[in-house]
Chains A and B, each alone.
Chain A
Amino acid sequence: MTFDQLHDITAWMADAGIDELELSGPSFWLRLGRGQTQARDGQASAQPPGASKPPCQVVTAPTVGVFLHRHPLHAAMLAPEGARVKAGQALGLLRIGSLLVPVTAPSDGIAGAMLIAHETVVGYGTALVALHPLER
């Protein structure tokens, strides 16, 4: 990857209205965002820097879709604020046509506030829901 390509990519992002882009290849990891850019050469297994765990996690959109707080069959939220949730449990859903992709809790915790309204179209990486650690 060259800096010329980065220039093209940022231009495409601006055209498409994309705020943030993350890309990993066999030998690089790249993250572009408005007002912040990070890049790293090396193995693909490299994780983003600054990984010290904050007390409250923010779970982000794993794909583009319509964010749902509740399953279409249900009146109740999948993870109401304050509910204890298991790692892997769906906190919300992203609807793409008839497909429902879960926004899953990365670890056991207490569901926090929804950061985006029910039935909002969201992009990849959009912060969707807060997850608090279990009290010790």
Chain B
Amino acid sequence: MIEIVTTGALATVQDRGRDGALKWGVGSSGALDDLALAAGNILLGNDEDAAGIEIQIFPFQARFTADCVFAITGADCAATLDDLPLPPWWRQTAKAGQILNLGLPRQGAWSASRAYLCLGGGVDVPQVLGSRSTQMRGAFGGLDGRALRSGDRLRAGPANNATKHVSFGLSPPALDLPLMAGDLPAVRVLPAAEYDQYTEAAHHALWNDVWRVTPQSNRYGYRLEGTPLLPVTPIETRSHGIVPGVIQVPPNGQPIVQMRDAQPSGGYPKIGVVIAADLWRLGQAPIGSRIRFIRTSWDDAIAAGEQTARWLAEARRLVDLHCGWTRSH
């Protein structure tokens, strides 16, 4: 269905993640911006577990080798289909031979770094341990367990053809569900197991200082830079299970937020955890950008997840309704 023409490193097939595999020591993988992937699948009428392509180095070019309905979401990459400019967060039909081009992300009303390309019917790669996500550490899942390369061909599953030629888009959730602290993007954080063993100064810095996303940030983890977070006395912990979102603090006091490709265990103390509903915000924060942490509660973390689920359900309802109208023409 599509052939990769140009890609930088690290474009991978991802779905919403390999949940339930931690018991085998296998991390979750999955789209860093799970909301963008979900929106792409909604635009296409795909199942919610359909896989797409996560792109983080640009430019990216793909040629359609057959007529195909597709959607682009995530970072605004000034996408074009041949010479037709496409709005961000958009669904479009391509004819065989047409070329989709994604340029460098534009940092306007929303600063983001990862784009998602979804195909009608989903990217058709085999499920491994219940998911199509690429597991880079274990070299399985996705396309042959590796990042995409020029010349790779990917098939799409059976698409919902009834509404094939309709083009439309969705308003990005970053605009509909904004979360800022002062003038910076923010993520909500729950205190974690070792929180109480940190100094008052560390607590103050965690909640009030600005955290810079360093260049050593990727799908495994985001290494942040700011006021060092120091414990009252040195903390020693045995290696234990961890999940995406956990904020580890190594001895240098510079926090590391575990992301989707994190290993399933670690030994550093945990000062907090970014709530699941906000991991996509961090996953889109560009290298060099600055973020803040907002302290939240268990109940508010659950409510945030429900708010995201409502946004997706409403988007799916509106898309279904719109495609229904179009079918009757």
Q: Residues of A at under 8 Å CB distance from B?
A: 63, 71-75, 78, 86, 88-90, 93, 95-102, 104
Contact = CB atoms under 8 A, between A and B. Distances in A.
Given A73-B175, A88-B84, A90-B87, A98 B168 contact: no
A72 B171 contact: yes
B170 A98 contact: yes
Interface on chain B toward A: helix, strand, loop, or mixed SS? Answer: mixed
A95 B87 CA distance: 13
B171 A101 contact: no
Interface in B305-329: 311, 314-315, 318-319, 322, 325
A28 B87 CA distance: 37
B234 interface: no
Top 10 A-B pairs ranked by shortest CB distance?
A100-B169, A99-B318, A98-B171, A71-B87, A73-B109, A101-B168, A98-B315, A97-B318, A86-B84, A98-B170
Chain B interface category by residue count: 20 to 34
A73 B172 contact: yes
A100 B167 contact: no
Nearest to B165: A88
7 contacts: A63-B322, A78-B87, A90-B167, A97-B314, A98-B314, A99-B322, A101-B168
Nearest to A88: B84
Contacts of A95: 171
Contact of B318 (A74, A90, A96): A96
Contacts of B85: 89
B176 interface: yes
A63 B325 CA distance: 10
Contacts of A78: 87
Contacts of A104: 167
Contacts of B108: 73-75
Contacts of A74: 76, 108-109
Contacts of A75: 108-109
A96 B323 CA distance: 13
Q: Which of A75, A88, A93, A100 has the most CB of B within 10 A?
A: A100
A98 to B, nearest CB: 5
B110 A98 contact: no
